[in-house]
Amino acid sequence: MNATRIIVAAAVVLASLGSAHTADAPSGAASCSGCHAANSSTQTPVPPLNGRPAADIVSQMAAFKSGERKGTIMDRIAKGFSDEETRAIAAWYESQK
């Protein structure tokens, strides 16, 4: 009986750790996961963002926003975020390893 309680308690703690990462996401970050895979083992033409350097994300978003880099949808999405929002999202994704 005690072993079962310990296992259940451990499962609850582990589950809450996983959801805490998601809860800390800045506004707008959740919309990225519609196209960007959560990990690099998923093969898609859209690169994953988790663990990617924030500076890379910020520079790519700026390139899409300015029109320097063409995209099918990212150029329009980038224009919807302020520079501050982009930096916050990029920093959060960098921390997701």
> Where does the pLDDT of residue 63 fall: very low under 50, low under 70, confident under 90, or very high at 90 and above?
very high
Q: What is the mean pLDDT of residues 50-63?
A: 96
Taking 60 as the threshold, does the pLDDT of residue 3 lie above it? Answer: no
User: Is the pTM here over 0.85, yes or no?
Assistant: no
Domain ranges of the chain: 2-95
- In this prediction, residue 20 has a pLDDT band, given cuts at 50, 70 and 90, of very low
Question: Please, which residues have CB within 8 angstroms of residue 33's CB and are 6 or more apart in sequence?
Answer: none
CATH placement of domain 2-95: 1.10.760.10
Sign of CA dihedral 29, 32, 37, 43: negative
What would the pLDDT profile of 69-91 be if each residue is shown by its tens digit? 998 899 999 999 999 999 999 99
Dig out the tokens for 12 from the structure.
């609850």
